[in-house]
Homo-oligomer: A and B are copies of this chain.
Amino acid sequence: MQEPTLLLLTALADEPRHGYALMQEVAEISNGRVRLRTGTLYGALERLQREGMVRVEREEVVDGRARKVYALADQGASALAEETARIRAVALEAERRLALRPRLKGVTA
């Protein structure tokens, strides 16, 4: 699972949102670091629906603009929980090893 996908699922984790709102939510979660392109967004949403991670909760029209509201499926919530557990473990191990790393250039100062 790559970061755009991880952020997408995270943005859906607390409550259902529509596509455009997801773009903004992902940008906010990542402190503006990750800006989802529409190609990535809608492509990923389709794929995640095929995989049973996400479903369309409802379709609505607000101010004459059509919206699809997506929700995190139970399977998506499980996958997200597993993924976060995995990457936390790897991050912990990476930090442990970095601390063990022999320092090179005058880091002792």
Contacts and interface: CB of A to CB of B under 8 A. Distances in A.
Interface string A1-37: 1110011011001110000000000000110010000
A101 B10 CA distance: 11
A106 to B, nearest CB: 12
Interface stretch (A43-51, A58-66, A90-98): A90-98
A76 to B, nearest CB: 10
B7 A100 contact: no
Interface in A71-94: 72, 74, 77, 80-81, 83-84, 86-88, 90-91, 93-94
A97 B91 CA distance: 20
A63 to B, nearest CB: 26
